[in-house]
């Protein structure tokens, strides 16, 4: 089988079991808690196959839900007097929740059994059933990933098999930057579908930065009226002399955000929003100049930034700034409600790459440091982080930030126990956080920054950062060997990060993200075959089939042989220097 990510265990079906044929008579029997998965199968797999896949009870097929098929006969047809193979009725897809699976693996674990006339998917919870349904879709072949049948009336079969599977890590994510280049809502929904197809369950939504503010905040309308738009955009690396003189921007209304969150939840994906403070905030300062260090520069002259890098324009450490962002987060929490997902409490506050030159020159900032008895500007940033850490904790939420939130100290920084760290500058921040008792999401730039170039060739479009091939990403290991078992348990998982400075549209995002996201998905889902390394040759073999799935989904991935002519960007400067820092 060419399944991606590779399941934990695949066994042959019982000896007499044959392939399961899905046709117009096939029904779905969904036990309580699996109705959403049944709906997804009808709307997604049903659209690709042209099969109605009705509910068994509504269709008159009989049966009483997945619970009535708790055992398999020797021919794999399922027990019960109404077994469709015996009555002349069509096949059935049984969806159920098995407490034993949750105990043995996790709520995201599942067991898929296919044989003769029954496909049965039992999950440790609804999410596990959903991941099992994703595996069923792969078993049906690449055409099951299309939006409509390409061969009406064709036969659809599922090979006889037993698959037992569960993820290695709970947090399996992708961070998408929509601030540098805005992605319209339909593109975000498409990204969520692609994450689901790869069994990834966290979407880190980078909504604000120097180059654009992308979420509507009703009490502060200028954040989107002004902060969501820039007059022009640097074309290529910041050293490039080229500009795109067309204004660029966009934002999501609050209803757009609610729709995105609900759409993700139906696919068992948690959306973690990021509002970046106190650095990477020039778009907000351009909209509300009083947020900046007005005693150092004329903030009324600032515009949304049109180039890349790290700007010196950061938030002023004032009470007004704190109250302003409390207002932002109050509205944000309503848009990202708590749910049954263990990651729904998380709110990302950025905290990275905050240049402190203006604070050093600001009498007001220096006075605030003396008032708080802070030794240096790193401690001043830590004071801002701690403020929002406690503010979020008081509302049942958890702060997560880039590893710079540890600057100013770990234990003595006073972070709440629930605060977590996204370790991007290598593994060091994650190691320090885990040893200080904080949860960690590993996303080291050297391994899983998908904006970095995929090969050293001159044909790579706008090449930046390190060369990270498909095999490099496949061999990514989230848990550093320096950690003890107790410290390693603090590693919630990992995510790949996609910064969009040189990704002007969906096609460029596709090119940078795929096929490497498939390799990442396997690294965070499939068990580590210690002490041997992962079998990259086997992964490449399975990718041959997976490319056909990506083709069916319309993903404009980087082909194994290099970029196609229209994927290149000749003459646009990148930064093809191995070992260069990643900031673009």
Q: What is the C-alpha to C-alpha distance for residues 189 and 496, in angstroms, rounded to an integer?
A: 18
Tokens of 519: 């390799």
Tokens of 443: 């996303």
Q: What is the C-alpha to C-alpha distance for residues 117 and 111, in angstroms, rounded to an integer?
A: 17
Q: What pLDDT score was predicted for residue 574?
A: 87
Q: What pLDDT score was predicted for residue 413?
A: 55
Say which DSSP state 404 is in.
G
SS3 annotation, 139-157 = HCCHHHHCCCCCCCCCCEE
Q: Are 128 and 8 in contact (CB under 8 A)?
A: no
- Name the nearest CA neighbour of 424 among 482, 495, 355, 513: 495
Residues labelled as active-site residues = 209, 280, 353
Q: What is the pTM of this model?
A: 0.94
Cis amide linkage into residue 531, ω under 30° from 0:
yes
Name every residue whose Cβ is closer than 8 Å to that of residue 24 and which is 6 or more positions away in sequence. Answer: 51, 52, 90
Q: Are 358 and 314 in contact (CB under 8 A)?
A: yes
Q: What is the C-alpha to C-alpha distance for residues 459 and 149, in angstroms, rounded to an integer?
A: 36
Q: Are 272 and 347 in contact (CB under 8 A)?
A: yes
| Beta strands per DSSP E along 372-462 | 398-402, 420-423, 439-442
Tokens of 250: 């966009």
- Name the nearest CA neighbour of 424 among 494, 513, 501: 494
Any idea where the domains of the chain sit in the sequence? Answer: 9-165, 171-567
86: region left, alpha or beta (phi > 0 left; psi from -120 to 50 alpha): alpha
For residue 118, the cross-strand partners are 92, 115
Provide the angle, in degrees to the nearest 10, between the axes of the packed helices 126-139 and 185-197.
80
Q: What pLDDT score was predicted for residue 60?
A: 59
Topology agreement, domain 9-165 and domain 171-567 = no
Q: What is the C-alpha to C-alpha distance for residues 419 and 77, in angstroms, rounded to an integer?
A: 50
SS3 annotation, 156-188 = EEECCEEEEECCCCCEEEEEEECCCCCCCHHHH
- Name the nearest CA neighbour of 279 among 338, 349, 220, 329: 349
Q: What is the C-alpha to C-alpha distance for residues 580 and 575, in angstroms, rounded to an integer?
A: 8
- Name the nearest CA neighbour of 525 among 511, 512, 539: 539
Fold for 171-567, please state it.
TIM Barrel (3.20.20)
Q: Does domain 9-165 have CATH number 3.90.1210.10?
A: no
pLDDT block averages, 10 residues each, the chain of length 584: 95 86 97 98 98 85 44 38 50 96 93 95 98 98 97 93 97 98 98 98 98 98 98 94 97 98 98 98 98 98 97 98 98 98 98 98 98 96 97 98 84 80 98 97 97 92 93 97 97 98 97 98 92 90 98 98 96 70 44
For the chain, the residue count is 584
């Amino acid at each position: 089988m060419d399944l991606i990510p590779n399941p934990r265990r695949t066994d042959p079906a019982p000896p007499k079991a044959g392939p399961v044929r899905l046709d117009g008579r096939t029904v779905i029997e969904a036990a309580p808690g699996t109705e959403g998965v049944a709906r997804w199968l009808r709307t997604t797999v049903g659209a690709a196959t042209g099969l109605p896949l009705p509910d068994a009870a509504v269709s008159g097929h009989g049966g009483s839900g997945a619970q009535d098929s708790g055992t398999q006969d020797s021919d794999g047809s399922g027990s019960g007097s109404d077994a469709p193979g015996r009555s002349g009725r069509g096949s059935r897809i049984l969806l159920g929740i098995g407490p034993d699976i949750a105990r043995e693996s996790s709520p995201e674990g599942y067991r898929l059994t296919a044989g003769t006339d029954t496909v049965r998917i039992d999950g440790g919870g609804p999410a596990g059933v959903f991941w099992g349904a994703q595996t069923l879709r792969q078993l049906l072949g690449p055409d099951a990933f299309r939006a409509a049948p390409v061969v009406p009336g064709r036969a659809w079969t599922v090979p006889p098999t037993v698959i037992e599977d569960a993820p290695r890590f709970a947090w399996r994510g992708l961070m998408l930057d929509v601030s540098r280049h805005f992605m319209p809502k339909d593109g975000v929904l498409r990204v969520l579908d692609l994450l689901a197809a790869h069994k990834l369950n966290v979407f880190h939504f980078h909504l604000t930065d120097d180059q654009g503010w992308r979420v509507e905040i009703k009490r502060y309308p200028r954040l989107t009226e002004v902060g969501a738009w820039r007059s022009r955009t640097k074309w290529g690396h910041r050293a490039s002399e080229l500009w795109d003189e067309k204004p660029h921007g966009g934002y999501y209304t609050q209803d757009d955000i609610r729709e995105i969150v609900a759409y993700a939840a139906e696919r068992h994906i948690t959306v973690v929003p990021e509002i970046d403070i106190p650095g990477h905030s020039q778009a907000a300062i351009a909209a509300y100049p009083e947020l900046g260090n007005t005693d150092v520069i004329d903030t009324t002259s600032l515009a949304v930034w049109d180039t890349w890098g790290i700007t010196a324009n950061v938030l002023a450490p004032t009470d007004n700034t704190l109250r302003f962002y409390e207002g932002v987060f109050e509205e944000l929490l309503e848009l990202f409600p708590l749910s049954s997902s263990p990651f729904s409490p998380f709110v990302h506050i950025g905290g990275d790459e905050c240049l402190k030159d203006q604070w050093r020159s600001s009498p007001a900032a220096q006075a605030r440091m003396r008032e708080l008895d802070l030794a240096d500007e790193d401690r001043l940033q830590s004071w801002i982080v701690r403020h929002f850490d406690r503010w979020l904790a008081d509302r049942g939420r958890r702060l997560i930030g880039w590893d710079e939130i540890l600057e100013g100290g770990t234990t003595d920084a006073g972070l709440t126990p629930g605060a977590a760290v996204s370790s991007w500058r290598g593994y060091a921040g994650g190691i320090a956080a885990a040893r200080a008792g904080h949860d960690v999401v590993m996303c080291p730039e050297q391994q899983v920054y998908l904006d970095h170039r995929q090969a050293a060739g001159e044909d790579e479009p706008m090449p930046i950062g390190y060369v990270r091939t498909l095999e490099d990403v496949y061999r990514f290991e989230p848990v550093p060997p320096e950690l003890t078992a107790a410290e390693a348990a603090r590693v919630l998982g990992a995510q790949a990060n996609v910064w969009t400075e040189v990704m002007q549209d969906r096609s460029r995002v596709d090119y940078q993200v795929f096929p490497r996201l498939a390799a990442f998905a396997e690294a965070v889902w499939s068990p580590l075959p210690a002490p041997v390394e992962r079998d990259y040759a086997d992964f490449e073999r399975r990718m041959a089939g997976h490319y056909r799935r990506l083709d069916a989904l319309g993903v404009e991935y980087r082909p194994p042989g290099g970029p196609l002519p229209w994927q290149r960007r000749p003459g646009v400067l990148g930064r093809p220097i191995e070992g260069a820092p990643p900031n673009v």
